[in-house]
Amino acid sequence: MSPVVNASNLRTLRQTLRKQRNMLSSKQRLEAANRATHHLLRAPWLQRKAHVGVFLSSDGELPTEPLIAALHARGHQLYLPVLAQPLPHPMLFAHWTPDEPLKPNRYGILEPINRQYRHGCQLDVVITPLVAFDAQGQRLGMGGGYYDRTFACRKIGTRKKSGTPLLIGWAYAFQQVGALPAQPWDVSLNGVITENGVQRFTHKN
């Protein structure tokens, strides 16, 4: 874990961590993802009826397949991020079940064809991709600002109900770094799940 990360190092940090997670073997990935899934399923805040935003892992991200299979088996309604244009927002979430068709978006990440969209702020829990996180729940993503712009609602209070959606990062433990610089638009995570367990953070938004 590096102690200090300044803004000019963010680019390098993104590159290093992306490279590092791409170097893991399939066995290491699957083991970590199974362990992380096990931790999530035991979390008391994942209520039975929760509508859950998930994502399809790419670029060496901690795999979400076991997580998606387990949430589907427990009967959760699942949603995937959609960037397809024209949309009135940079990113929406489309309802999806694992048997429904997908097509690649501009980054080659698969997204549902179905157009039953919800705004991210109308979900209960959102499992969030990330490149790095810190002990305060600060998140560094791929740099598109999609999650920050979508979940700005948590700062201005237009959410479904108080305290939602819970934003929960999904990552390898090695993606934790020293304090990340906070940009005014950054939306913090409520928790992170790694192969080592669940970490919760307490902050205002």
Ligand X SMILES: Nc1nc2c(c(=O)[nH]1)N(C=O)[C@@H](CNc1ccc(C(=O)N[C@@H](CCC(=O)O)C(=O)O)cc1)CN2
Ligand Y SMILES: Nc1ncnc2c1ncn2[C@@H]1O[C@H](COP(=O)(O)OP(=O)(O)OP(=O)(O)O)[C@@H](O)[C@H]1O
Residue list, annotated binding site for substrate:
56, 61
- To which H or E segment does residue 14 belong? helix 10-22
Residue 66 touches which of ligand X, ligand Y, none (Cβ within 5-8 Å per kind)? none
Residue ranges for the known binding site are: 56, 61, 139-147
If binding is defined by CB under 6 A, does position 120 make contact with ligand X? Answer: no
Instruction: Report which residue's Cβ sits closest to ligand Y.
Output: 141
3-state secondary structure of 36: helix
Q: First-to-last CA distance in the chain?
A: 26
Residue 137 touches which of ligand X, ligand Y, none (Cβ within 5-8 Å per kind)? none
If binding is defined by CB under 6 A, does position 183 make contact with ligand Y? Answer: yes
If binding is defined by CB under 6 A, does position 55 make contact with ligand X? Answer: yes
Distances from the Cα of 14 to the Cαs of 132, 149, 166, in angstroms?
8, 19, 24
47 or 143: CB nearest ligand X: 143
26 or 202: CB nearest ligand X: 26
3-state secondary structure of 205: coil
If binding is defined by CB under 6 A, does position 142 make contact with ligand Y? Answer: yes
3-state secondary structure of 19: helix
If binding is defined by CB under 6 A, does position 107 make contact with ligand X? Answer: yes
If binding is defined by CB under 6 A, does position 185 make contact with ligand Y? Answer: yes
Phi, psi of 170 (to 5 degrees): -130, 110
Question: Which among 189, 76, 59 is positioned nearest to 67, based on CA atoms?
Answer: 76
**Which residues are CB-contacts of 133 (< 8 A; sequence separation ≥ 6)?**
139, 140, 169, 171, 175, 176, 177, 180, 189, 192
Given 11, 12, 59, 143, the residue binding ligand Y (CB under 6 A): 143
Given 146, 160, 179, 197, the residue binding ligand Y (CB under 6 A): 146
> Measured between alpha carbons, how far is 54 from 123 in angstroms, rounded to an integer?
10
As measured in angstroms, the least distance from the Cβ of 96 to ligand Y is 20
45 or 146: CB nearest ligand Y: 146
Write the burial class of residue 166 (CB in 10 Å: 0-12 exposed, 13-18 middle, 19+ buried).
buried
4 or 144: CB nearest ligand X: 144
59 or 100: CB nearest ligand Y: 59
Question: Which residues in this chain contact ligand X in the complex, by CB under 6 A?
Answer: 55-58, 61, 81, 107, 109, 129, 141-144, 146-147
